[in-house]
Structure 1
Amino acid sequence: MTGKAYTSNALRANISVTIGRHYGLDWLRIGAFALLILYHVGMVFAPWDWVVKSRVTYPALIVPMAALTPWRLALLFAVSGYASRRLMMRGDLLAFLRNRSLRLLLPVGFALVVLLPPELWIRERLRGYDGSLWRYWSHDYWSVTPIHGLGFPSWEHMWFVVYLWAYTVALVGLVAALGIPRLQRAGDWLAHGIRLLWVPIAILVTLKLALMFEVPEQQGLTTDWTAHAEFAPLFLFGFVLGGSDVLMPAVHRFWKPAAVIALVTGIFAVWIELAYQGQHVPGHALMALDRAARLAMAWVMILLLVHIATRFWNHDHPWRATLAEAVFPIYVAHHLILMWLAWTTLPLDLPMPVEFALLLGGTTGLSLGVYLIGRRIPWLRPWIGLSAPKRAPAVKIATA
Structure 2
Amino acid sequence: MTMTRHYGMDWLRIGAFALLILYHIGMYFVPWGWHVKTPRPMDWVQIPMMATNSWRLPLLFLVSGYASAALFAKLGGPGAFLRSRAARLLIPLAFGMIVVIPVQPWIELVTQYGYAASFAHFWAHDYFRFGTLEGIVLPTWQHLWFVVYLFVYTLLAVLLLLLVPEAARARITDVAARLLGGWGILVLPLAAWMAILFAFPGYRETHALFDDGPNHLHYLVPFFTGWLLRVRPVLFLAVARCWRTAAGLAVVAYATVAWAIWASPGEGPPPVGVVTWFMAVRLVQGWAAIVALVGIADCFWNRDHARRPMLAEAVFPFYIIHQTVIVLVGYWLLLGGVGPAASFPILVAATVAGCWAFYLGGRRIGWLRPLIGLQRRA
Question: Contact between 1:265 and 1:293, CA under 8 Å: does it hold in 2?
Answer: yes
What is the count of residue pairs matched by the alignment? 373
Asked whether 1:35 is paired with 2:16, we answer no
CA distance in 2, matches of 1:156, 1:272: 30
Q: 2:117 aligns with which of 131, 151, 163?
A: 131
Q: How does 1:65-84 map to 2 (within 5 A)?
A: 65-84=49-68
Deviations 1:18-41 (A, max 9, x none): x51111111111111111111111
User: What is the CA distance between 1:143 and its match in structure 2?
Assistant: 1.1
Which ranges of structure 2 fall in alignment gaps of 5 or more residues? none
The match for 2:154 is: 168
Q: Identity over aligned residues, as a percent? A: 40
Moved more, 290-299 or 247-256: 290-299
The match for 2:129 is: 143
Asked whether 1:341 is paired with 2:329, we answer yes
Q: 1:109 aligns with which of 72, 89, 94?
A: 94
CA distance in 1, matches of 2:233, 2:268: 47
Matched letter for residue 118 of structure 1: V
Please report the TM-score for the alignment, with normalisation by the length of structure 2: 0.94
User: What is the CA distance between 1:194 and its match in structure 2?
Assistant: 2.5
CA distance in 2, matches of 1:166, 1:54: 35
User: What is the CA distance between 1:225 and its match in structure 2?
Assistant: 1.6
Asked whether 1:211 is paired with 2:200, we answer yes
User: What is the CA distance between 1:163 and its match in structure 2?
Assistant: 0.5
User: What is the CA distance between 1:282 and its match in structure 2?
Assistant: 4.7
C-alpha RMSD of matched pairs (Å): 1.8
Matched letter for residue 187 of structure 2: W
User: What is the CA distance between 1:283 and its match in structure 2?
Assistant: 6.9
Label 1:332 to 1:245 Cα distance change in 2 as closer, same or farther (>3 A).
closer
Question: Contact between 2:201 and 2:275, CA under 8 Å: does it hold in 1?
Answer: no
Moved more, 115-124 or 344-353: 344-353
The runs of at least 4 consecutive aligned structure 1 residues that moved more than 6 Å come to 283-286
Deviations 1:267-294 (A, max 9, x none): 2222333344335345789843222222
CA distance in 1, matches of 2:247, 2:339: 36
CA distance in 2, matches of 1:138, 1:270: 45
Question: Contact between 1:190 and 1:247, CA under 8 Å: does it hold in 2?
Answer: no
Label 1:238 to 1:364 Cα distance change in 2 as closer, same or farther (>3 A).
same
Label 1:151 to 1:286 Cα distance change in 2 as closer, same or farther (>3 A).
closer
CA distance in 1, matches of 2:204, 2:45: 27
Label 1:362 to 1:193 Cα distance change in 2 as closer, same or farther (>3 A).
closer
Q: 1:197 aligns with which of 172, 181, 186?
A: 186
Larger Rg: 1
Moved more, 92-101 or 58-67: 58-67
Moved more, 366-375 or 118-127: 118-127
Label 1:283 to 1:142 Cα distance change in 2 as closer, same or farther (>3 A).
closer
Which ranges of structure 1 fall in alignment gaps of 5 or more residues? 3-18, 391-400
CA distance in 2, matches of 1:285, 1:125: 34
Question: Contact between 2:35 and 2:105, CA under 8 Å: does it hold in 1?
Answer: no
Moved more, 168-177 or 333-342: 168-177
Deviations 1:182-237 (A, max 9, x none): 34223312344422221111111101221134x55433111112211210111011
Please report the TM-score for the alignment, with normalisation by the length of structure 1: 0.89
Q: 2:140 aligns with which of 145, 154, 159?
A: 154
CA distance in 2, matches of 1:99, 1:116: 24
Q: How does 1:323-362 map to 2 (within 5 A)?
A: 323-362=311-350
Asked whether 1:177 is paired with 2:168, we answer no
Matched letter for residue 134 of structure 2: H
Q: How does 1:48-67 map to 2 (within 5 A)?
A: 48-67=32-51
Moved more, 271-280 or 317-326: 271-280
